[in-house]
Amino acid sequence: MSNIKVRFAPSPTGHMHIGNTRTALFNWLLARKLGGRFMLRIDDTDTLRSKKEYEDSLRESLIWLGLTWDEEARQTARMARYDEVVARLKAEGRVYPCYETAEELEVMRKRLLSKGLPPIYDRGALKLTAEDISRYEKEGRRPHYRFKLLPGSIEWEDMVRGHCRYEAANLADPVIIREDGSYLYHLPSVIDDADFGITHIIRGEDHVTNTAAQIQMFEALGAPVPRFAHLPLLTGKEGKLSKRLGSLGVRELRAEGIEAMAICSFLAKLGTSEAIEPFYDLTSLAATLDLSKLGRAQPKFDEAELKSFNTRFVRDMPYTGVKGRINSDERFWNAVRHNLAVVADIAEWENICHNRLTPRIENADFCKTAAELLPPEPWDEQTFSAWTNALKQQTGQKGRDLFHPLRLALTAAENGPELKVLLPLIGREKARLRLMGQPA
């Protein structure tokens, strides 16, 4: 299956948000599972809104997530190719000029809706005479162009939605070129997919109607029709796509300490019949991809749930996942990871164990006795139990009265990792000084 090829085709008109992150992820996972190739295509035909800063941001987010690409293309570099195809389709009668203004089309749409009819373009432009066209052009009107759909059923087997069928008679001929000569999404996307050999297209279900029209475009080009999968769109926990969710992006989540693989693990299983579990590499996650397990209902994305999952993800993360990102060794990581919400929280415990700290003394006499009873090093996780047993016998303290003063003196914190794992990391001399009330 080495000919398998998918693409992620973002428009650089904004930063990467949760919705298109999910689309990119599913395409990447499918390519890797099937042993195919993943293409990044920059759909930058909207020259007014496309910005380099957004493109740079998209690339940075993809790389951080691990969704690297095998090849790339840019639509603005292919305009001559689009013009070539359009010239042929015009000659074949599949692309035709229209002179209606936006206002006239809106009146037409409202009139049809008032009659209970679908707001489909009536192909009035095909009835224009040469005189009509001449008159419009003298008025200063410039044509927009539509792709002419042929009558009949348009059918495909969707990898998520199952069998899909549309009647061309119920679809409007899509506009493919604006009055100013700029291209809309529809035809350039098909030309690219055909030219680059895209075999599978995974995108949101808001493109289903586009797919019906684009299938006829593939056929008009004489190109194979790719397989399609339309993902149910994400909604917020309130049942609708909130403004926050629509703009929530990889950059914001990364800045908040959410792990790249936590995002990928969460999005890959959200809305499926499978449990959301931590995966620590994309190859393992790709092996589990099964589009048939995606439900048809729109999955609810809850940022709080992602953050809670990230905490679980971090606490289960092996040292290999943070090696090179933290200053501590594997022993320290395993000692404190169960108390972290994000990896950056480890700095607090590195500071407590390695740097100068002013202790909080709750019971000075008790802490002094504890310092005197500290056993000699080397220490391990059994040291704390032996030490506190001796301390209990000496002082009669137990429960909270035994452990709480020790925690405050050793860490100056109310809660944290078990003292049995922290004590060897702090070391005997620091522990002794802190128990005596001295900064150490």
Report the half-sphere exposure of 166 (CA within 13 A, side-chain side): 19
Residues 431 and 343 in one domain: yes
Please count the CA atoms within 13 angstroms of the CA of 296 that sit on its side-chain side: 3
In this prediction, residue 239 carries a pLDDT of: 60
**Are 317 and 337 in the same domain?**
no
| C-beta of residue 386 within 8 angstroms of C-beta of residue 379 | no
Q: Do residues 168 and 216 touch, judged by C-beta distance below 8 A?
A: yes
Name every residue whose Cβ is closer than 8 Å to that of residue 289 and which is 6 or more positions away in sequence.
26, 29, 30, 33, 268
Bigger pLDDT: 249 vs 261 = 261
- Per cent of the chain over pLDDT 90 is 91
pLDDT in tens, 218-233: 999 999 999 999 999 9
What is the band of 326 on the pLDDT scale with cuts at 50, 70, 90?
A: very high
CATH number of the domain within which 245 lies = 1.10.1160.10
Q: Check whether residue 260 and residue 302 sit in a common domain.
A: yes
Q: Are residues 201 and 228 in contact, defined by beta-carbon separation less than 8 angstroms?
A: yes
The reply to whether 313 and 345 lie within a common domain is no
Are residues 8 and 40 in contact, defined by beta-carbon separation less than 8 angstroms?
Answer: yes
pLDDT beyond 70 at 282? yes
Q: What tokens does 113 get?
A: 């809706």
User: Is the separation of the CB atoms in 93 and 148 below 8 Å?
Assistant: yes
Q: How many CA atoms lie within 13 A of 291 on its CB side?
A: 25
Are 301 and 338 in a shared domain? no
In a domain, 36, yes or no: no
Residue finishing a domain among 321, 341, 360: 321
Peptide bond into 417 cis (omega under 30): no
Tokens 């095998």 belong to 70
Assign 383 a pLDDT band (cuts: 50, 70, 90).
Answer: very high
User: Do residues 143 and 135 lie in contact, with contact meaning Cβ atoms separated by under 8 Å?
Assistant: no
Verify that 344 and 314 share a domain, yes or no: no
Residue 245 has pLDDT above 70, yes or no: no
Does residue 359 lie in a domain region? yes
Q: Diameter of the chain by CA atoms?
A: 110
Asked whether residue 277 is domain-assigned, the answer is yes
Whether residues 336 and 311 fall in one domain:
no
Res. 278: pLDDT tops 90: yes
Instruction: Give me the pLDDT at residue 67, please.
Output: 98
CATH number, domain of 340, equals 1.10.10
pTM: 0.90
Q: What is the pLDDT of residue 247?
A: 59
Q: What is the mean pLDDT of residues 417-422?
A: 91
Q: At what angle do helices 260-269 and 52-65 cross, to 10 degrees?
A: 80
Say if CB 91 and CB 85 are below 8 A apart: no
Pinpoint the alpha helices (H) of 115-242.
130-138, 186-195, 208-221
Domain end (from 289, 321, 353) = 321
Residue 92 has pLDDT above 80, yes or no: yes
Q: Residue 266 domain-assigned?
A: yes
Structure token pair of residue 413: 């914190």
35 assigned to some structural domain: no
- CB neighbours (10 Å) of residue 204? 15
| pLDDT value of residue 229 | 97
pLDDT exceeds 70 at position 240: no
Mean pLDDT within 334-361: 93
| Band of pLDDT at residue 46, cut at 50, 70 and 90 | confident
In this prediction, residue 238 carries a pLDDT of 62
For residue 12, how many other CB atoms are within 10 A of its CB?
A: 22
* Residue 249 confidence (pLDDT): 86
**CA geometry: angle at 325 spanning 321 and 330, to 5°?**
60
Q: Are residues 301 and 363 in the same domain?
A: no
Q: Would you say residue 316 lies in a domain? A: yes
Residue 292 in any domain: the answer is yes
Number of domains in the chain: 2
277 half-sphere exposure, CB direction, 13 A CA radius:
8
Residues 419 and 350 in one domain: yes
Among 47-51, 162-166, 279-283, the least confident range = 47-51
317 and 335 co-located in one domain: no
CA 70-74-76 angle, 5° bins: 170
Computed over every residue of the chain, the mean pLDDT equals: 94
Per the domain annotation, does 372 fall within a domain? yes
Host domain of residue 379: 331-435
CA 246 vs. chain centroid, Å, equals: 12
